[in-house]
Structure 1
Amino acid sequence: MGHQVRLTQLPQRIVSLVPSQTELLFDLGLGDRIVGVTKFCIHPKELTKEKRIIGGTKNFHFDKIEDAHPDLIIGNKEENYKEGIEQLQEKYKVWMSDIYTLADALKMIKQVGQLTGTEAKAEELAQHISTGFAQLQPAQPAISTAYFIWRKPYMAVGSNNIIDHMLQRSGFSNAWAAQARYPEITPEQLQQANPQLILLSSEPYPFKAKHIQEFQQLCPQALIKVVDGEMFSWYGSRLLQAPSYLQQLINTVQAELQAYGS
């Protein structure tokens, strides 16, 4: 993003503006150096709730950040808002990630390790994540899939984001891959796409089992499942859990589609 961050010593007071990167910091053993997190930073639960809340990912409370006296702030291009980041950059050292693929996530993990003096632990985490994804067996043949993140209006996952990347790695062919990153989809467009599989994410909209019937009426032939959005979109140390979750989902979907002759 054209912004350089120079640190003269290891940061001792870190503010994290991104939930998945907050969890990473804790897993790198940096809990005692974290002085501020967002209200969406929920993992690890018992530890994050003890930290100062500095607002949301797109509405920072600058007074609370100032009170935290950070010597490093960690954010993300997509999850945070440009105006807020630029305002913070005027006063603090702000390091930003930009994640689209698993390779980007692994690079970010190692870079955070370098920034914080936890290179060995970060390298170990990255290696375990790489090994897990190397063993992932995607669906074959690929399954036409629509992944929804919002309701009223319906919003799906398009191209050029980490969720689309995870869908591809799982053998779920994104029905909206030719569209913008998070397109608004009409019921008619969904019916015309006629995907074999519809995945309803648990975040940011909290889809639940009660919403399945709503989509089933639009696409009676589709297999519809509510999925853990964190496993598709969190790009920190939660990636350790993603391969086993995705593999179980792949196996279940293939078995159910085969049983129904789809």
Structure 2
Amino acid sequence: MGHTIRVGDLVTGEAVVLDLRVAQLASRAVAFAFDVAVQFGLLLLVLLISPADFDSALQTAFALALTVAVMIGYPTAVETLTRGRSLGKLVMGLRVVRDDGGAIRFRQALVRALGGFVVDFWVLGLGGAIALFVSLFSPRGKRVGDYLAGTVVIHTRAPKPTVDLAGMPPQLAAWASGLDLSQLPDELVLAVRQYLGRYAELSEKARWELGARLSDDVGAAIRAPRAEHTHPHPYLAAVLAERRRRAAG
């Protein structure tokens, strides 16, 4: 079986659990309520300022287009631009991530929004009954849109791991001091911490493959990719050590 890593279990090919906290149904429901309030507020606002001289057919077409734009376009745009955070998720300390722990992109956000609109909540979802039913029976609290998009919602306000993390590799200290870490997502930092903390438990193959995948996401976030022949461990250790240094200072 090939090497895999899944957020929620976050299980590697050696069945080593990396503990990212999957969001519970209650916190997701509160976040969803915030987001629905924002969406319906936008709908109402646009309807109030829209022209009143449309004929009935044009009004119907306009209302349909507006509904699609707000109920699908809005969450797609917001979750793409914020790398998985809507207003409700920001309030509740949640984020949508890919099943492999990486940041979502436009495709995942769009599929998730379409699944939510058509299946989970509105068109077929009986006001959220389908989303509730599927989430209750999902080990990771997924709704249909999450299954279709390959995503999961996690807590970003997770407790710090108790394991000791690797320190700053001396050869990378100067390089790390010049990094821009402001766009490094919390859930990605947590995944790297777990990787470094469980490093000794992984096989050499898993150390490289999992580390390379995390390095790719980290490199994209900080715009400083890992050098081709640099092992992922010192690269990730340097990034986290520099982040800890700045937080402590």
Normalising by structure 2, what TM-score? 0.24
Normalising by structure 1, what TM-score? 0.24
Higher-RCO chain (CA-CA 8 Å, sequence separation at least 6): 2
Higher normalized strand content (fraction of residues): 1
Higher normalized helix content (fraction of residues): 2
